[in-house]
Every structure is written in structure tokens, then in C-alpha cells.
Amino acid sequence: MSTTEHLRREWTAFRSLGRLIALAVAGLTIIALGLLYAMGNRSSCDGPCPAVPTADDGSFVSDRFWFRHRELGEQGSITVRLTAMTGTITYPPPGHDQIVPGLVPWAKAGIIVKDGLRQGSQYAALMMTGAHGVRFQHNYRHDVAGSGGSVTDQSPRWLRLTRDGDTITGSESNDGESWHTVATVRLDGLPATAQVGLFATSPGDLTLHRVGLGGATEQVRFTQAVGVFDHVTVQGGAAGAWRSEAVGDDMNRTDWEKYHHASGSTEKDGVVTVSGVGDIGPLSEQGARVVENSLIGLVIALIIVIVVAARHGARTAQHSRSVIAARAAVVGGATFVTGLVAVGVVLPLSTAILKGNGIAVPAIPVLTTVRVVVGVSAVLALCAVLALALGVWVRRGWVAVLIGLSLIALPYAVATLPLLPDPVSEWLLRLTPAAAFAVQQTTVEYPQVIAHYAPSAGYYPLPWWAGLVVLCAYAAIVVWAAVRREPAADVDWR
């Protein structure tokens, strides 16, 4: 019997009313739960919510800081000496009952050249950070390390930004005489007159609250950074007086800023003090899990697929290898099409509903969307093939179902909930077939962004292609074991 005839016959055998209904329910579950998630999320603002800052590439960013600035022409520089950097952290653990002095690791104070005051506009900045030394950062995603240490444990640090047309160079010095270039970047389209000056900003203090069996949820507290500068010099192409204002419109609204220390800048005897809150960088958490949350029905669909495939595989145990191969192809193909339709429908619909409800949804590149739709469908199909092979191998349908659920669905479910300690969840998503569900991840880990990088927050320990390799390896091993157990009769691959 030819391969085509095998496939036709096995499709006829597979398409019983019960199996087709089960696959339909799996697909509809993905769609229904995804749409319920989208319809249940609405803007809570009184009136239109403030727009989320968007960079030139369409990505959401953080762009909130206090800015003491003036104009800079196409040729020029700013040089400062940062003499001190301090900060405040409100109600940190363990007691959560005090406001303490201190800096979060990515608090920032330094100098910046920016394309105007619009949030999301391009920039280049040289800064001291709370715990990562001098850094040169530009256009939100890019970060280059300078010298280590901080102004709290070393002598004051000299910082300089030099503009030559669209090219910005950041340099640092210990004494103001001998300079070291940290990095150079080209900001295409930087206007003839840009804004240059001093800034300070500080993201929230992130701590983890233990829940479940050792899992964690995030808690974020207000912080503020203060930079003290002297020897402030702007040369070349500058005009106008210094101005002081916030980039971002929600500063000086907290009780700490209102009643204790407002963000802003002051100057006395050539010493400039700038204090601010916020951050400049990628905004990885804003809408980052739209895809994952739209696919919350995936785990239920996975359970249905495993049950159907494993029980069908148990009925295949006494057949030849060619029949097993044909049934695996049919089950995998039917599951792939089911996933393709379900994921392809729910993602654009849930995105449209969220936007209509006033939720800021980040732009997802077309290739990423294709990867998610095709990748999730392929993962479901491979899980079906793995479950079918388990059924063939153990020859007991419900035993195969339990093994499949324990091997695939259970690790996926518990690892993506704040239930287990983060290291345990990460290893589950490295060593089990559930690693392949990294294909749905669209969140990006940035070293310069304070965030909870764990599976429960949408971060898988393996890249999507590596997770897919893990699942393929499991499927190949179990299929090989299942086929090896059967006699090599009636093999015809024409």
C-alpha cells in the first residue's frame, strides 16, 4: 500500500465524530478564553488614558525624567562633573515601614542629548547608575558599559557628550584632563537644534513577594534619584537660557514629592542639583503578555489533544510501522490545522478588542506574529504525535494519557503560574517538552531594565527554537521506541 493510500485510510479511521468534536472543542477553547480575556480588560482611566511613549520603531518605551536643558547646534558638547548621587527608596522590605536613603541598581543621573522633549524621541545619554557604573545608552534598547563603581565609593566622575552632526560620542574622565571614549553612536535625522542637558531618573524598587510553594509576585515601590553636578560647560552652537522641566507629565504627584522632596533642579554657586523619578529605556512590561494572555486556553486545548492522541495511539499498538507512521502524520496534521485556525483567529481579534477597550497594545512585528501562530500550531501537533507514540509504546490509553499530561501539560501549567520557585520553573521549561511553548513568547529581557525575569512573568529560559528542539527530541525518542516495539511488517513508503 502506498503512502498516500495509508494516509487516506488513516484519515478515514481518525475522523470519527468524537475525535473531530474534541479537536473542535480544543480550538474553540483557545478562541473563547482569549476573547473573554480581551473583553474583560478595559481602560480604567477617567477619560482617555495618557498615551504610552512610543519610539521611532513603534515599540513602547519608558521616557520619564527631570531635564535641565538648553539648545545645542550641530557641532558642540556638554561637559560636567558629577560629584554626588543619592536617592530615596520608600517602604522597602522586610518591614515596609520606613523611607530609607538608597539607590536602586538602575537609578540614573548624567547628561543627555535628545531630539526635543517629546517622549519616545531619540537620544544619547552618558550617566552614572546606582550599581552598574558609568553607562552610555541610546534609543532605549542600547546600553554600553563604561567604568564600574559609583560616585559613592570613588572620586567624582567627569562626563562629556560631543555632537558632530548626527554623531554623538560619550566620554568619561576621572580628572577632567585624560578622557576615555565609552561609545559613539549615529542618531539619524537628529535635528539641527537638539536639546542637551542634565537629567535624573529612578525606576521603581522591585521586590518579590513569596506565594504558593515558593513562587513570587512582583511589588514595586516609589524611588527617587538625585545627582549633584558642577563645572557644567556647554560649548559650540548653543543658544538660549537653561530651562528645567519634566519629560513625562506625572511627576511631583506622590506624597513624597509633594511633602518632602519635589523632583526638579536647583542651582547655587555653580552647583546644579537635579532630582527625578521614572526611567529611560525599553518598556518590557507594558502590554508585554498580550500574546500569552490571549492564549490562556492553550493548556486546556493541550490536555484535550493529549487525551485524543494517546487513546488513538493505544488502539494502534498492534499495527505495522507504516500504519503507526501514517496515524502520527494524520493526528499531527489535524492538530496543526486546528491550532492554526484557533491561534490565527484569536490573536488579531483579541488585539482589536483590547485596543477598542482603550488598552495600549504594543506593535508586534509580522514575522513574530507568524512565528507565534505557526509555532504554537506546530507545538500542539508535535505534542499530539508524542502522545500517540506514548499510546503505542505503553499500549494502555489512560496510562499514556497520564504520562503525557505529567510530561507536557503539568510542567507547562505549573511553571507559568507563580506557584513554584523560579529556578524550579525554569528547569521544568528546560528539561521537559513544555520548553517548546517558548514559541509564544514576545517579551524581551533587557539587562538594563528592572523586571521579574521568570516564567510566571512571561520569560522562558530557552529561546523559542531551542525549546522546539527539546520537544522534537522527546517526540523522536518516543516514536523510535514505539516503532521499535512493533514488528517491521507491511512497510511500504512509496
pLDDT tens-digit series, residues 358-400: 888 888 889 999 999 999 999 999 999 999 999 999 988 899 9
Burial bucket for residue 128 (CB in 10 Å: 0-12, 13-18, 19+): buried
**Whether the predicted model's global pTM rises above the 0.85 cut:** yes
| Confidence (pLDDT) at 319 | 65
Which carries the bigger pLDDT value, residue 56 or residue 374? 374
Q: What are the pLDDT digits (tens) for 112-158?
A: 999 999 999 999 999 999 999 999 999 999 999 998 776 665 579 99
What's the CA gap between 134 and 128, in Å, rounded?
A: 4
- Extract the C-alpha cell encoding 68: 535641565
**β-pairing verdict for 180-186 and 157-164:** unpaired
Distance CA 264, CA 183 (A): 28
Average pLDDT of span 159-173: 97
Check whether 491 has a pLDDT greater than 50: no
Q: What is the pLDDT of residue 493?
A: 32
pLDDT of the residue at 115: 95
pLDDT at 105: 94
**Distance between CA 359 and CA 141 in Å, rounded?**
23
* Average pLDDT of the residues in 316-321: 68
Provide the Cα torsion 456, 462, 465, 469; round to 10°. Answer: -110
Q: What is the pLDDT of residue 1?
A: 62
Q: In 10 A of CB 477, how many CB atoms?
A: 12
Q: Look at residue 286 and tell me whether its pLDDT is greater than 80.
A: no
Average pLDDT (187-208) is 94
Helix (H) or strand (E) holding 264: strand 264-268
Q: For residues 43 and 53, which has the higher predicted lDDT (pLDDT)?
A: 53
Work out the percent of the chain whose per-residue pLDDT is above 90. 66
DSSP letter, residue 168: E
Find, among 333, 323, 311, the residue nearest to 391 by Cα: 311
Task: Let me know if 282 is exposed, middle or buried by CB neighbors in 10 A (0-12, 13-18, 19+).
Answer: buried
- Counting residues of the chain whose pLDDT is more than 70, the rounded percentage is 94
Q: Which range (129-138, 143-152, 167-176, 285-294) has the least confidence?
A: 285-294
In DSSP terms, which residues pair with 124 in a beta bridge? 113, 138
> What size, in residues, is the chain?
494
The torsion angles phi and psi of 63, rounded to 5 degrees, stand at -150, 75
pLDDT score at 488: 42
Mean pLDDT across the chain: 90
Q: What is the mean pLDDT of residues 68-86?
A: 95
Does the pLDDT at position 345 exceed 50? yes
**What local confidence, expressed as pLDDT, does residue 285 receive?**
53
Structure-block grid coordinates of residue 155: 572620586
Residue 399, Cβ neighbours under 10 Å: how many? 15
More confident: 351 or 360: 351
The string of pLDDT tens digits covering residues 416-453 is 999 999 999 999 999 999 999 999 988 888 989 988 89
